[in-house]
Structures are given as structure tokens and as C-alpha cells.
Amino acid sequence: MPESLQMPDGTPVDIDDEGEKAFNAAMAVPEPSAQGEAPDYPAPRRRRDPDAPFGFEEDGKTPKAPYGLGANGKPRQNMPGPGRGGKKHDKPRVQPASRETALALPARDYSAELGESLDGLWAGLAFLPPTQAQATILKANKMGLVGGLNLSAQHNPYVRRGVEYFCSDASWMINAAMMIGPFALQSAALWFRPSRLETVMGTSAEELAAIAQADFKAFVAEQEKALAELLEEARAAEQLEQKAA
């Protein structure tokens, strides 16, 4: 049955002979001439054999592999190297450590060290009037803080580092601050709020100045006494030398 054109509803469409001939002529592929002349249309592109993209060796069976064979056993089509010929799955696969491995920390009890460090922190807070209320809160919750921080240090490496820092470096810093704190606090009260000296030291700036004057006089007297003793010893030694001569 010859082919024919139809409308969507099935109604046939008549095509005259001239139109059909023109269509067939346009679709026909001209054959090369018998004299061996090349056709006036480009030749179809040759498809590369995926198993032998560079052809075969002289035996006709072994595929050529100028860049070697890939992981699949087929010839590489590009030179291997960084950025060329590599695929994502060829890169080293690094599997992140599991949660159990990351949290596998050696057991260590920090309770004693935490207790001592918190006692030092409490003493520093209790010494300064602005933080004395905070010191009371710290002391009331000391056992909970020790237990919670110690438990967290057993399971989290970051908390453990913080606890170790607090119990080592931070501990001596707190002790040093407690030693320097009285001088810093009293000096700040003297220079910036003299009225606070009565609260901080139980005295006034005038009384402190009088104490300094008395101490300085005593210091000068001691130096004069020591100098007089040295001169007396020097004279005695000189007299002995004269008698010996």
C-alpha cells in the first residue's frame, strides 16, 4: 500500500505528481559517478571504535594504546596526569572519622584539678567588691560545675582542651592576678576614687602619706646609722695599719 499524507482526523491529503516528484528529488542522495569523482557532499564522520580509538596493531586484534590502558582495560584517549584524564573517582578517597572514633578519648578524671582551679577563681572574685556576689554564686554551684565540666571532658575533645587549659595555664594566671590584685585595686582607688580608700583600705590618702613620710624618715635614719658604722670601722682599720707600720 503506497504511503499517503493524512490529516489528524484521518482525512487523506492528495498530492499531485509534480509535488511528489520534487519531494523525492530533494530527499534522494546522489550516487557517486562511475568515473570515480568525489560527491559534492561531505562524507559522514567515521565513528571511533570505543575499544580501539586509535585503531589496531598489525595483527588486527590488539588495540593501539599510545597513552597506556585505563582502569577499565581500554586504551586511554588522553595522556594521564594532573588535570588530564583523571576522574573524580580516581582521586584518593578519604573517609571522615566516625563519631565513635572522634569521641574515643582516654578516660581521665579532672575533678580534683577543676575543684582547685574553681577555688582560686572564687578567691579572686571574692576579693574584688564588684564581683563578690558572683563569687557567692560560684561557690554555691561548685560541685555541679566540677561534675558537668568533668563529664563533658570525657566525651568532647574541645571541652577537654578547655578544661586542661583552665586547670593548667589559667590556674597560675588566677593566682598571679590574686597577688597583683590588691596593689591594682588600691592604686585605682587612690588615683581615681580617693573616697573609696576608706572602704578598700580603711584609711585615707592623707593617712597613707603620713605613713610614707614616717617610713621614709626611718629608712634615712637606718642608712645614716649604717654609714656611721662603716666609717667607724674604716677609721679603726686605718689606726691598726698605722700602729703596725
- The DSSP line for 51-96 is TBTT-B-TTSSSBP-TT-B-TTSSBPSS--BTTBS--GGGSPP-PP
pLDDT above 70 for 87? no
CB 97 within 8 A of CB 117: no
User: Whole-model pTM above 0.75?
Assistant: no
CB 105 within 8 A of CB 155: yes
The answer for residues whose C-beta is within 8 angstroms of residue 57's C-beta and 6 or more apart is 63, 64
pLDDT in tens, 91-136: 556 655 545 544 567 888 999 999 988 988 888 888 777 788 999 9
pLDDT in tens, 44-55: 666 677 777 778
Q: Where are the domains of the chain?
A: 111-180, 193-223
The reported pLDDT for the residue numbered 76 is 81
Report d(CA 31, CA 37) in Å as an integer.
Answer: 10
Q: What is the mean pLDDT of residues 55-81?
A: 79
Where do the DSSP E strands lie in 150-229?
A: none
Alpha-carbon distances, residue 153 vs 92, 147, 171, 176 (angstroms): 34, 10, 17, 26
CB 211 within 8 A of CB 205: no
pLDDT above 80 for 8? no
Report d(CA 52, CA 62) in Å as an integer.
Answer: 8
